[in-house]
A and B are shown apart, each in its own frame.
Chain A
Amino acid sequence: MVPGAGTRRELLVSRRWIQAAALVAVFGFFVMGLLAYRTYTVEPPVPRLVVGESGQRLYAGRDVADGQKVFLANGLMQYGSVLGHGGYLGPDYTADYLRRAATAALRARGGGDRAREQVRQEFRANRYDPRSGVLTYTRAQADAFTALVDHYRDYFADPRTDKGLRPYAITDPRQIHQLTAFLSWTAWIASAERPGAAYSYTNNWPAEPLVGNAPTADTVLWSVVSLIALLVGIGALFGAVGRWGGHLGWRGRQAEAIEFRSPDQVALTPAQRVTAYFFLVVALLFLAQVLLGGATEHYRADLTSFFGLNLAELLPFNLARTWHLQLSLFWVVAAFLAAGIFLAPLMAGAEPRGQGKLAWTLLAALAVVASGSLIAEGLSIHGLVRPGDFWGSQQFEWLDLPRVWQILLASGMALWAVMMWRVLRTTLARDSRGNLPWLFFLSGLAIPGVYAVGLLARPGDTFTVTDFWRFWVVHLWVEDFLELFTTVMVAYMFVQLGVVRERVALVVIYLDIILYSAGGVIGTMHHLYFSGTPVEHLALGAFFSAMEVVPLTFLTVEAWSFVQLGARQHLESRTPFPHRWAVMFLVAVGFWNFLGAGVFGFLINLPIVSYYEIGTGLTANHAHGSMMGVYGMLAIALGLFALRYLIPAGRWPEKWARVSFWSLNIGLAWMCFATLLPLGLLQLHESVASGYFEARSLGYLTGRTNTLLEWLRLPGDALFIVGGVLPFCWIAWLGVRHRGRRAATDPATGLTPAPRLSDVRERVDTA
């Protein structure tokens, strides 16, 4: 035994929980390791050189990498997409190139059935020679390439702004050539057959009859298998709960009678008081984010003018959308960090000297990273930064931060982890490594850890590889580690308030780790069905991501109801429960986890659905329902929890908390059901019936029905912003104005005692 181990508190739950959780996680990441290996070994090749039949040089491998940098630097991934990944207003440039090239080839051959068959075969044949690294385009393909360089030159040099891009977006002929090379390469991997297979590198995505692209047998098969997996999984889980649920330990026991301390009796530590400023920043970033969202949405409803103003000169669609997405991450993460700073002393019972200063440092660092990266993105989209620049340009969708800012953000989060460590050090030393404080700390560590993986995606690498790592962040963050961190935080809040026993909370957390990791880790691959990764990514992704829905259903129906227990606990206390609205926001988190993540996510999760749907309105529907519904609501719940103690009880704006709660939820439900869902369903129909290219065309998106549906969300959006976000800003402002009551620091030790939030009225028998 380790020296001093005897002084540790015992593990509160059975060791089996830890073993099971570790087993599931190790298995998941072992498979992910294998998949990473396969991604690198069988990714679609980037040819050293692409030549025409007569040997003339068309483009080189370097041009593909540089073209990708041009694509990213100009924010085109936030306007349209490649291989289905990116924004939804512009076209999918892979499908766009493929359709235009195939049409040109068909015209060159004079049309007719024979010509069709010939074009199909030309595009499907894989003429890449791995030994020399040379890819040969047929005459028709080469001519199409030359013609498309001209096409994209005109397209991007357009002086008008009626596409939503800035005028004269790209004019440098070299950059246009590189960009076309990049698009041409994505179109090549989308149509050329993988060696030894009868489908393309992208599993035949996109649907394009001209080049013979249709869903593969695997796409259909694994859709069916994953559907069955989901049904069996849910059935098995509910069966297991029915059989053993009683033993999980949160059944039927009467809770301790407790009394909540009035917020006025709770004196705060220096760092806890700094979180008031954090939450004000959170609220302001949130406000900026939704206003930019309004601008983004306006482009979709009315592309040509912003109430008579030519907005696209200053704030083109892709810049508005870049900022909209970036800010959504910033304010949510800032709220999480602040909540960690607020909760850690409660767990440790005290806060060491200097923590307040560190909190200020962290806030300043966040402000610098947020504004610096947003400015850099603006400069890059306006063409003022060299593509691929270390300081100024990266701009993968969701990983938009230029590299240096990405590193700074990861270091900021690492600083936060250090702050957590300083506070929790003694508690951790005294507690079993499987108990709540350790889980809190470890799940917190995972947040910077997973984010740092995003650094593996570099603008000049093969798109297949960059997308693989990009989704480690986008997916693993939100669908595994943040869900986990969320459960730990919420469980922890309830333990601190005394409404849930620590042992019960631990069981829920371990169950969570097991269930989320079982599906969520390998489930990452549901984003990579068609990005050039081999077919096993599709098969495993479909199977395991279907399993993700199991905890979302289960935890909503079963364990999240322990949140409702919290809401009900006030019945048994003589003093009023202070966290009415924080808990209601948590109830909302449970609801949107089920609807936005579970239902809307699974709606687009089967490979066969994704094949037609990827990059269309139903993704936006799911993204809003889950990002705002789950993490947005959660961030606000955490904010209100802390703000309750930062604002004196007599000043607490109960009414505005209620208004904000209802407005945000009604606004979000309206947004999804009035616009995003019907729009997405119609677009999916268009994609299956007419074609993916057609469903993504501006002509379709700006059609009459679509325009009407886009305007239909206006009342919901207005309510969301005015009734939901502004009151939250007001509450956050009150927090800064009052900043709670300061607890006295012990001058000898430098420790500031952290408050208790409740007292047990009737103690547990010791006899």
Chain B
Amino acid sequence: MIGPFTTEAVLAYGYAAALLAAAAGLDRLARHVAGRSERHRTGGFTYQPERDAWVCPADQTLWPVGQDRHHRFYRARPSVCNACPRKPDCTPSRRGREIVRALRPWPHSEAGRFHRGLALVLVVLAASLTLIEAVRHPAWPDLALAAAALAATAITGWWLTGHLRGTPAAFPEPGQGPPSRDRYTTVWRPE
């Protein structure tokens, strides 16, 4: 006995709670990694939300030039870039440095959905363990712990699924042809 509760109940519901914490922790960590991988592309560049523009290490501005359902594209003036001494480390393009920004960055990437999915597995497992233990020993006051664990599970589950509800993965399926909007034609052709 631990206080008024049986040891088994405390261990079972405690483990369920630990699973929820692990789910939240994994999700945070994965989000952090995604942020870093985002920055590999944009390292040295700063986004200025008030102007919706990026500023490059040489203090030039990249303005928005186009957008599809999930991303917005920004580009610097080609004449500026082609004259810039730092160009070789910056871009291979003759049409000016470009940056892609995901409109809803996390967890809408594929990797994000994977990590979020695994976090949800832990939530489902926490719920299953709680229910199994409650059915095995439906005794008061242990059931109060079960109720608390279930409530915590529901909240974590709701929170983790929130971002996923109603947003399909933005991956062009093979066989569907090119993505619905082709920015190479729509953005570059006018130049």
Contacts and interface: CB of A to CB of B under 8 A. Distances in A.
A765 B94 contact: yes
Interface stretch (B139-147, B151-159, B160-168, B173-181): B173-181
A705 B92 CA distance: 62
B89 A253 contact: yes
Interface string A559-579: 011101101101110111110
Interface stretch (A409-417, A670-678, A746-754): A670-678
Given A257-B184, A561-B36, A568-B37, 9 more contacts: A246-B44, A252-B43, A252-B44, A561-B40, A570-B171, A580-B110, A595-B26, A669-B121, A762-B92
Interface string A633-659: 000000000000000011010100000
Given A252-B44, A584-B114, A654-B173, A673 B37 contact: no
A574 B42 contact: no
Contacts of B84: none
Nearest to A578: B174
A516 B40 CA distance: 23
B11 to A, nearest CB: 8
Nearest to A262: B174
Interface of B: 8, 11, 15, 19, 22, 26, 29-30, 32-34, 36-37, 39-45, 57, 71, 87, 89-95, 97-100, 109-111, 114-115, 117-118, 121-122, 125, 128-129, 132, 171-176, 178-179, 182, 184
Contact of B33 (A561, A577, A583, A674): A561
Contacts of B100: 571-572
Contacts of A564: 33-34, 37, 109, 111
Interface residues of A, number: 56
Contacts of A256: 92
Interface in A565-608: 565, 567-568, 570-572, 574-578, 580, 583-584, 587-588, 591, 594-595
A745 B107 CA distance: 47
A578 B32 CA distance: 27
A591 B118 contact: yes
18 contacts: A252-B45, A253-B89, A254-B99, A257-B93, A568-B37, A576-B176, A583-B110, A584-B110, A587-B111, A588-B114, A654-B175, A665-B117, A670-B121, A678-B15, A705-B8, A761-B184, A764-B92, A765-B87
Contacts of A763: 92
Nearest to A764: B92
A364 B100 CA distance: 49
Contacts of B93: 254, 257, 762
B132 to A, nearest CB: 8
A558 interface: yes
Contacts of B33: 556-557, 560-561, 564
A670 to B, nearest CB: 6
Contacts of A360: none
A251 interface: yes
A666 B121 contact: yes
A765 B92 contact: yes
A252 B38 CA distance: 9
A574 B184 contact: yes
The 6 closest A-B pairs by CB, nearest first: A252-B43, A561-B37, A251-B43, A764-B92, A254-B91, A564-B37
